[in-house]
Structure 1
Amino acid sequence: MQETRAKTGATAREEAVFIEAPGGAPSEPSRPGGATLAGRLFLPAGAPVAAVVLHGAAGVPRDYYAAFAEWLARERGAAALIYAYRGCEARQSRSALRRSQVGMVDWALHDQGAALAFMAARFPGAELRVIGHSMGGFGTMLHGRADAVARLTAVCSGPALWTRARGAARAQAFGFWHGLGQAALMFHGYIPGKLFGLGADLPPNVYRDWRRWCTGPDLHKGDWGGALPMPADPPFSGRLTLVSAADDDTIPTAVVEDMARFYPGASGVETRVMDPAALGLESVGHIGGFSRRAAAAWPMIAD
């Protein structure tokens, strides 16, 4: 069951939506399983031309994407959903984080899948699109409605083996996966976000799944048929747009382009590079493409 509360603005409407995501680890210890995802749905003044679900990056708060989603509704006539992954709806106590069984498997499979199903059901006549930021681009090939997605745009997303990072980002990734990250998990029992420049703390299993996927060359392929199902059949067959940032040293352009091999059924693949200099921006980087200051880059993501 989906619950909504409406708020009307000048040129777009916003609804608070609550999406049931069955399966996977419970979002709180008192719950037997599954989660209720807290979302914000932005609606255009008229009938939406597209239904867009935005899967966020790990450790990035939901509301970071609100300005971009509102712009999609106001300027592109799309219904746009942003939501918080299970366990990220509100600031959790340290003891709750330590006890949490939530993993990145739950986010990529159950939460992303539920958000996609919600938009497909809510807007059956609109073109269904997915925008995935970083790990937000990891899951579409696994979802039961993958074949209904007309377009997937993966932004700064790819098989992020740490050795493929550049410069200082490579050293930081090595430390996160093989040094300080593991030490922080052992000492705290979870990953303190501020310690690593993240916008939120991470439950232990999120880090463990993420580490497994970023210390091998094939992302989460080793989990297919185990912790994750095999890719959906029928598969994703829509358009695949791969968007990188020229100054993203964490997931360089070549790594973003490598994401195409995880979507072999795509009807077409297009690559785009957000170049800060060409866009009149000081930087974009791995996270900055959805920020208000990077609004000049938004058409490269949306159009």
Structure 2
Amino acid sequence: MKPIEIIEILAGDGTKLSGRRYVPDGAVHAVVLMPSAMGVKQQYYEPFAAFLCEHGFAVLSFDYRGMGDSLLPQFSKSLRGFKADISDWAELDYNAALLATKAWQPEVPLLLIGHSLGGQLAGLLPDNHLIDGMVTVASGTGYWRFNSMKTKRVVWLLWYFLVPFYTGICGYFPGKKLRKVGNLPKGVIYQWSRWCRDERYFVDERGNAMDTFHHQFQAPILSLSFTDDEMMSRKNIDGLHDYFRHAAVERRYIHPQDISSKRIGHFGFFRPEFRHNLWQQALQWLNHRASDCSNIIDSKQTI
């Protein structure tokens, strides 16, 4: 793998985002976009990105506005006054990263690894028709009544008390101090809270179903979810993927014992200890999808 390239991505409204490109030493089979989960910095995915790079995949990661390396210095101590919601993250930031990924490697298939929120927001991208295949990891809706039993016992307190109380006082959600998710902009936490309190999940401020772009997503999807996920239940996982009604979805519900492990959880997939089992599952699927797409491209060029 060549040295990691730190790049700047311009969001749809001109906001500057920080991204990282991982470049293979040899030929590029496909390019992979890796958006982050809620409150997770792009560096968290570096071991898995490097693993994919070792196997011929170019990878691009990025931080949403107000998060990680995309956080402006003046907001490093407090996000009070920072304006952004999840729709901005999806339609402006994520979509811009998608276009940047395509422009970087236009001749190869474009694949996506969506962890949690990263998989959720794929259906909100105006240009998601550019995606040739997607692997979702522990990605489902956040509707609290469908959350895993461990989370459901306490999360109602978050959505109905902690979020309105602390966000109202601080002007943003002080997740670091509360040891929950991390600091989030006011607009992000309020929108997320609204979604997580509604079974339909993707709802607007009036409680109506949002207009999304799930209908134009037709690429195959591999859903990797885990029976010991402390946040997502099977209902959450299925609820999200049912939105992609025009895509062929392969759903794998993995028990830790299936891979001789004691624990996977919501975040465990990206730990290097899983490079010989879980990572191989994702790699095999990505290789197969990249090969299928390349064959289609070659056949069209021949015609």
TM-score for both structures, normalised by structure 2:
0.84
Distance 1:78 1:198 in 2: 33
Q: Find the partner of 1:20 among 4, 7, 10.
A: 10
Corresponding position of 2:298: none
Query: What secondary structure, in the 3-state scheme, does the structure 2 residue paired with 1:120 have?
Result: helix
Q: Find the partner of 1:125 among 107, 120, 127.
A: 107
Matches within 5 A, 1:173-192: 173-192=155-174
Identity %: 29
Distance 1:189 1:289 in 2: 33
Q: Find the partner of 1:264 among 245, 248, 251.
A: 245
Residue range with higher mean Cα deviation, 186-195 or 55-64: 186-195
Corresponding position of 1:45: 25
Note closer, same or farther for the CA distance 1:189–1:227 as it changes in structure 2 (3 Å cut): farther
Note closer, same or farther for the CA distance 1:227–1:102 as it changes in structure 2 (3 Å cut): farther
Corresponding position of 2:185: 203
Q: Find the partner of 2:39 among 59, 84, 90.
A: 59
Q: Find the partner of 1:292 among 272, 283, 297.
A: 272
Amino acid aligned to 2:53: A
- State the Cα deviation string for residues 50-82 of structure 1 (Å, max 9, x = none): 1110111111111101111111101x3111111
Distance 2:140 2:148 in 1: 14
Distance 2:258 2:125 in 1: 36
Distance 1:204 1:222 in 2: 16
Corresponding position of 1:237: 218
Corresponding position of 2:253: 273
1:249 partnered with 2:239: no
Aligned residues of 1:61 and 1:200 also touching (Cα < 8 A): no
1:84 partnered with 2:63: yes
Matched length: 278
- State the Cα deviation string for residues 60-110 of structure 1 (Å, max 9, x = none): 111101111111101x31111111110112473444x11011111111221
Note closer, same or farther for the CA distance 1:138–1:144 as it changes in structure 2 (3 Å cut): same
Corresponding position of 1:71: 51
Matches within 5 A, 1:125-144: 125-144=107-126
Residue range with higher mean Cα deviation, 121-130 or 282-291: 282-291
Residue range with higher mean Cα deviation, 271-280 or 54-63: 271-280
Aligned residues of 2:39 and 2:181 also touching (Cα < 8 A): yes
Aligned residues of 2:91 and 2:126 also touching (Cα < 8 A): no
Distance 1:227 1:55 in 2: 24
Matches within 5 A, 1:133-172: 133-172=115-154
Corresponding position of 1:30: none
Aligned residues of 1:48 and 1:126 also touching (Cα < 8 A): yes
C-alpha RMSD of the superposition:
2.3
- State the Cα deviation string for residues 194-242 of structure 1 (Å, max 9, x = none): 2444463111111001111111111214479x99654277x11110111
Matches within 5 A, 1:93-132: 93-95=76-78, 97-132=79-114
Q: List runs of 5+ in structure 2 lacking aligned partners.
A: 286-303
Aligned residues of 1:272 and 1:300 also touching (Cα < 8 A): no
How far off is 1:127 after superposition? 0.8
Aligned residues of 1:13 and 1:42 also touching (Cα < 8 A): yes
Distance 1:182 1:199 in 2: 15
Aligned residues of 1:54 and 1:130 also touching (Cα < 8 A): yes
Note closer, same or farther for the CA distance 1:40–1:228 as it changes in structure 2 (3 Å cut): farther
Question: Runs of 4 or more off by more than 4 Å in structure 1?
Answer: 221-224, 226-229
Distance 1:228 1:109 in 2: 13
Query: What secondary structure, in the 3-state scheme, does the structure 2 residue paired with 1:138 have?
Result: helix
